[in-house]
Amino acid sequence: MSSALGGKAAIVGIGATDFSKDSGRSELRLAAEAVTAALDDAGLSAADVHGLTTFTMDTNTQAAVARAVGIPNLTFFSNIPFGGGAACATVQQAAMAVATGIADVVVAYRGFNERSGHRFGQFSTQLATAPTSSGVDAAWGYPQGLGTPAAQVAMVARRYMHVYGATSADFGRIAVADRKHAAVNPAAHFYGKPITLEEHQNSRWIAEPLHLLDCCQETDGAVAIVVTSVERARDLPQRPAVIAAAAQGSGPDQYVMTSYYRDAMTGLPEMALVGHQLWTQSGLRPDDMQAAILYDHFTPFVLMQLEELGFCGRGDAKHFIADGAIERGGRLPLNTHGGQLGEAYIHGMNGISEAVRQIRGTSVNQVEGLEHIVVTAGTGVPTSGLVLSAN
């Protein structure tokens, strides 16, 4: 795969709406605004676009977005399943289309009113009674009260704490770092609002051992990302973020948020699979990454990702993140935009945009001398990841 994809495509444009709790406009309008902004950023027009990729959960079809933006023809379109796990895969498929000549310019997008409209974190009996494989899977947990993402993650987090000695305070250090980064990001919902570890520990329980401040936001908004060939990128105004690697992964005994039947409930095998592909494709290693954007819908899964990706050993993430290591100036600055805990929850797409800003040198928490950055998508589900490079 590396010979066919790695280094063949680049992200040349990023765009986003404002991030809010009540956008006051339709999800289609949000998507169209983000796509238009991304094309403007790339120095391209709607007529240049040949493909659109998004999530199966997005309510905006590619045909509708094309009409709204003014894209005349599409030769490629795709939808990626599994919620937030789709984020990096939308860019992967865009890069595949570009690398194989199916499309010259592809835009990945995600737009929703996740706070003022449909709220994914709410209990849904409709899911548990659906006559589908997903409904059958959900029916095992819903009767026991495991009907929200927080409750489902809490089970795995508790087991991880028991086996490796991690504490709620260790989880809290992820939240504190994210909010510290968000506090200087004008686009972030929590701009100007850092938190202390004590505030994290005193926030109310959602599903023990998860506090309120361990859980991501609910956000209205949209993000779009423009992908084209490395050759064409050289003639465009922005510094390209070269897609050095892109991967998807679904691990053994994989369920959606409830993979409780594995021999061990202390990790995320699907992320290890993604990581192996990323390092193999790119020829890079964890030590080559100057920063990381790790999907942070719940803090415990950030620690597990550090271990699965090889930044540290099993159970060692609590030590790896100590003493400011994941803050700007540390050994691995993490979620420098504030993440989904601090900036916004756009199913991971805003994290990809931040990785592009780091490559460009325009992040509000810029890491000096950055050449490579790893990005991950949703955890607890089949997932995806990217390595972006400066050249």
Q: Which helix (H) or strand (E) holds 219?
A: none
Q: Spell 176-185 as b/e; 16+ CB within 10 A means b.
A: bbbbbbbbeb
How many C-beta atoms lie closer than 10 Å to residue 257's C-beta?
22
Residues in the chain: 391
Please give the Cα distance from 92 to 292 (Å, whole number): 18
Q: Residues with Cβ < 8 Å from 298, sequence gap 6 or more?
A: 149, 150, 153, 157, 210, 214, 215, 216, 379
Q: Residues with Cβ < 8 Å from 122, sequence gap 6 or more?
A: 148
Pick from 302, 382, 356: nearest CA to 84: 382
Q: Catalytic site residues?
A: 295, 345
Please give the Cα distance from 11 to 29 (Å, whole number): 23
Do residues 355 and 315 lie in contact, with contact meaning Cβ atoms separated by under 8 Å?
A: no
Q: What is the DSSP string of 54-100?
A: EETT-SS-HHHHHHHHT----SEEEEE-SGGGGHHHHHHHHHHHHHT
Please give the Cα distance from 233 to 360 (Å, whole number): 13
Q: Residues with Cβ < 8 Å from 390, sequence gap 6 or more?
A: 239, 241, 242, 359, 370, 371, 372
Joined tokens for residue 94: 């865009």
Do residues 352 and 246 lie in contact, with contact meaning Cβ atoms separated by under 8 Å?
A: no
Joined tokens for residue 383: 């997932």
Joined tokens for residue 80: 């990626």
Q: Residues with Cβ < 8 Å from 247, sequence gap 6 or more?
A: 88, 92, 273, 274, 277, 278, 281, 384, 385, 386
Joined tokens for residue 107: 């835009």
